[in-house]
Amino acid sequence: MYPDNFSPIIGMAIFAGAVITNKRLAFAFPLLAMFLSDVLFEVFNIAPGFWGWGQLVGYGILALITVIAFSMKRISVLSVAGYSIGASLLFFLLSNSAFFVFDNPIYNLYPQNFSGYITSLAAGIPFLRIGIVADLVYSGVLFGTYFLVKHYAFSKKAIA
């Protein structure tokens, strides 16, 4: 079975911010992909595609990750891995905090106090583990493919 939270979206946001020079397009790439997936989840009744205010914060976090990736000056395995892990941790912390603040009062899953907040973060750790792996895999695929295409498919030696 396909693991929950194994998604290319954060890898797309990092890739878009680091590689796409048109800033509007860099934001559009991950945000439109996320919106399309949410629509498809809803239309095909796979999962709730649109579920609360915390989800809107998720879109903002993707935009923030794209902005942070603008600062990637040198694309290397270490920088891609670092940005990927950092983005995973940032997304985990901000999205789970947004759920606790905006959606937990509706769903009442955790007490609305510091202990409840820590419990809600702890409940998200399995998703964090999967998210880190997914973000590393998809960032590796996107940047790796970009490298191969840039250096081999369009190199002067390949054309000659």
The verdict on residue 1 lying in a domain is no
pTM of the model: 0.90
Give the pLDDT confidence of 109-119 residue by residue, as tens digits: 999 999 999 99
**What's the number of domains the chain is made of?**
1
The verdict on residue 100 lying in a domain is yes
The verdict on residue 106 lying in a domain is yes
The verdict on residue 84 lying in a domain is yes
The verdict on residue 86 lying in a domain is yes
Task: Report d(CA 93, CA 129) in Å as an integer.
Answer: 13
Write out the residue range of the structural domain in which residue 141 sits.
9-159
Report which DSSP code applies to 70. T
The verdict on residue 44 lying in a domain is yes
* pLDDT over 90, % of the chain: 74
Give the pLDDT confidence of 103-145 residue by residue, as tens digits: 899 889 999 999 999 999 999 999 999 999 999 999 999 999 9
The verdict on residue 2 lying in a domain is no
Report which DSSP code applies to 47. S
Task: Report d(CA 27, CA 13) in Å as an integer.
Answer: 8
Longest CA–CA separation in the chain, Å: 66
Q: What is the pLDDT of residue 47?
A: 78
Tell whether the model's pLDDT for residue 1 goes beyond 90: no
Q: Minimal CA–CA distance to 82: which of 135, 40, 131? A: 135
The verdict on residue 14 lying in a domain is yes
* Residue indicated by tokens 């989800």: 55
